[in-house]
Structure 1
Amino acid sequence: MEQSFLTTFANAKINLALAIQGIQEDGYHELQSVMQSIELHDIVRVRRHGEKVVCRCGALSGPGNLAYKAAIEFLSQSGKSGGLEIEIKKQIPIQAGLAGGSTDAAATLRLLNQLYGNPFNNEELLKLAAQCGADVAFCLQGGTMWATGRGEQLELLPAAPRVDLVIMKPYAGVNTREAYRRFDLVGHSGQLTRKDWEEALAGGSIKQIAGLLYNDLEAASIPLVPQIDKFKQSLLESGCYGSLMSGSGSSVFGIAQGEQHARQVAEQLRKKGFRNVWVTKTIGAVTNCMKGDS
Structure 2
Amino acid sequence: MPDTQPPTLSLTAPAKINLSLRILGKHSDGYHEIETLMAPLTLADELEITCAHTGTPNPSKHSVNPFIECAPTNHLNDPLNLNQRINPPTAYSLQPTASIRPVARIAPPVTLLCNDPSLPCGPENLCVKAALAFQEASGINTPIAITLLKRIPHGAGLGGGSSDAAAVLRGMNQLFGEPLVIEELHQIAASLGSDIPFFLEPKSSWCHGRGELLQEANPLPPWRLLLIKPPFSIATAWAYNRLEAIGYRLEEKNEEKENCKLQETGDREQVENELDAGSPTSSVDGVTIVNDLELPVFEKYLLLPVLKEWLQERKEIRHAWMTGSGSTMVALLREEITPEAITMLKKEITSDFGATFWIKETGFRENQ
Same fold flag (TM > 0.5): yes
Q: 2:230 pairs with 146, 149, 170, which one?
A: 170
Determine the structure 1 residue equivalent to 2:40: 37
4+ long deviations beyond 6 Å: 190-193
Letter in 1 for 2:43: L
Determine the structure 2 residue equivalent to 1:19: 22
Q: Deviations over 1:234-274 (max 9, x none)?
A: 32122322111000000010111127457724532324425
Query: Which structure: larger Rg?
Result: 2
Letter in 2 for 1:215: N
Question: Structure 1 residues 109, 158: CA separation in 2 closer, same or farther (over 3 Å shift)?
Answer: same
Pairs aligned (count): 278
Q: TM-score when scaled to structure 1?
A: 0.87
Letter in 1 for 2:302: P
Question: Structure 1 residues 158, 248: CA separation in 2 closer, same or farther (over 3 Å shift)?
Answer: same
Determine the structure 2 residue equivalent to 1:248: 325
Q: 1:235 pairs with 311, 316, 320, which one?
A: 311
Q: What SS class does the counterpart of residue 299 from structure 2 fall into?
A: coil
Question: Structure 1 residues 234, 269: CA separation in 2 closer, same or farther (over 3 Å shift)?
Answer: farther
- Aligned sequence identity (%): 33
Determine the structure 2 residue equivalent to 1:291: none
CA-CA distance at 1:77 after TM superposition = 0.5
Determine the structure 1 residue equivalent to 2:292: 216
Q: TM-score when scaled to structure 2?
A: 0.70
CA-CA distance at 1:150 after TM superposition = 0.6
Determine the structure 2 residue equivalent to 1:264: 341
After alignment, is 96-105 or 117-126 more displaced?
Answer: 117-126
Letter in 2 for 1:52: P
Q: Which structure carries more relative contact order (alpha carbon 8 Å, separation 6+)?
A: 1
Determine the structure 1 residue equivalent to 2:151: 91
Distance between the aligned counterparts of 1:244 and 1:129, measured in 2? 28
Question: Structure 1 residues 244, 138: CA separation in 2 closer, same or farther (over 3 Å shift)?
Answer: same
Determine the structure 1 residue equivalent to 2:60: none
Determine the structure 1 residue equivalent to 2:11: 8
Q: Deviations over 1:186-230 (max 9, x none)?
A: 153567995339xxxxxxxx93346x2100001111233222212
Q: Are the counterparts in 2 of residues 174 and 224 from structure 1 also a CA contact under 8 Å? A: no
Question: Structure 1 residues 276, 266: CA separation in 2 closer, same or farther (over 3 Å shift)?
Answer: farther
Distance between the aligned counterparts of 2:329 and 2:12, measured in 1? 22
Determine the structure 1 residue equivalent to 2:112: 55
Q: Is 1:196 matched up with 2:269?
A: yes
Gaps of 5+ in 2: 53-106, 271-282
Distance between the aligned counterparts of 1:266 and 1:183, measured in 2? 36
Q: Are the counterparts in 2 of residues 266 and 277 from structure 1 also a CA contact under 8 Å? A: no
Determine the structure 1 residue equivalent to 2:94: none
Question: Structure 1 residues 213, 128: CA separation in 2 closer, same or farther (over 3 Å shift)?
Answer: same
Distance between the aligned counterparts of 1:169 and 1:53, measured in 2? 31
Instruction: Give the superposed CA RMSD.
Output: 2.4
Q: Deviations over 1:269-292 (max 9, x none)?
A: 324425311100012299xxxxxx
Question: Structure 1 residues 82, 224: CA separation in 2 closer, same or farther (over 3 Å shift)?
Answer: farther
Gaps of 5+ in 1: 198-205, 287-294
Distance between the aligned counterparts of 1:266 and 1:234, measured in 2? 17
Counterparts of 1:270-289 in structure 2 under 5 Å? Answer: 270-273=347-350, 274=354, 275-284=357-366
